[in-house]
A = this chain, B = another copy of it.
Amino acid sequence: MIRVTVWNENFHEKADPKIAAIYPDGIHGAIAEGLSEYSEFEVRTATLDMPECGLDDDTLNNTDVLIWWGHCRHKDIPDEIAEKVRLRVLDGMGLIVLHSSHMSKPFLRLMGTICRLKWRENDETERIWVIDPGHPIANGLPEFIEIEQEETYGERFEIPNPDELVFISWFSGGEVFRSGCCFRRGLGKIFYFRPGHEAYPIYYRKDIRKIIANAVSWAKPSCGPRPTLGHFPVPLENIRIVDHSDEYHP
């Protein structure tokens, strides 16, 4: 069972009747609905207007994979909460960063770069090509997905080189964009996925939902060793450790 928390700043849906008409249950509601079809996920939602921005310790400590959608309210997340999210990712929690969340505080802090890009709202067509068809996030997809109208993002996208590049987008206005990027940081896995402007009903699509579900499965925490860190005065060769195999957790 993978415990998923879908977090949303939940602003456009409340401030703009046009967006509310598209996402009456919020973007978080639409994403959670898509994930609820998978019996291996236990899904809850959280929003900025909840106490502690919906990201209290109990929620974070019981989240295996956090999905993040933000746009206009990045600055309303206190630094301490952004830092808690960062540390949870480094400690193993998966993080899926959607669309304009490339400028969210946790993502910026984890990347270390500025993460800007080029953008325009011009109702262009986006075609998302699978570059790495053997990657688990591409499971069950066709070789490309076409979205008739979306906001345009264009390179240069100021990120570190992704550890794995799964998708590249083509836009009818002439741009390309690395739209599916995997990063591994600390014990955690991070997936940035580009589509999802609030003005288009993207998160109801079966293909987009499949990608998000694949990403959740990929980003789930592993159960590797917790390395010893810091001062370690005795050389390990003085400690007889020949076969650790009985201590393993399954």
Contacts and interface: CB of A to CB of B under 8 A. Distances in A.
Interface of A: 86, 90, 92, 109-114, 116-120, 122, 124, 127, 129-136, 138-146, 148, 152, 154-156, 158, 160-161, 163-165, 168-171, 173-176, 178, 183-189, 205-207, 210, 222-237, 241-250
A141 B173 contact: no
Contacts of A171: 170
Contact of A145 (B86, B129, B244): B244
Nearest to A160: B185
Number of chain copies forming the complex: 4
Given A224-B139, A246-B206, A155 B129 contact: yes
Contacts of A141: 224-225, 244, 248
B224 A133 contact: yes
Given A225-B130, A250-B140, A232 B154 contact: yes
Which 4 A-B pairs have CB atoms at the shortest separation, nearest pair first?
A206-B245, A173-B235, A156-B227, A138-B224
B156 A205 contact: no
Nearest to A186: B113
A206 B246 CA distance: 8
A237 B232 CA distance: 24
Contact of A116 (B135, B224, B225, B229): B229
24 contacts: A110-B112, A111-B112, A112-B185, A116-B229, A119-B232, A120-B232, A120-B234, A122-B233, A124-B235, A129-B155, A131-B156, A132-B224, A133-B187, A141-B224, A141-B248, A142-B225, A143-B228, A146-B243, A146-B244, A148-B242, A160-B184, A161-B184, A206-B248, A210-B248
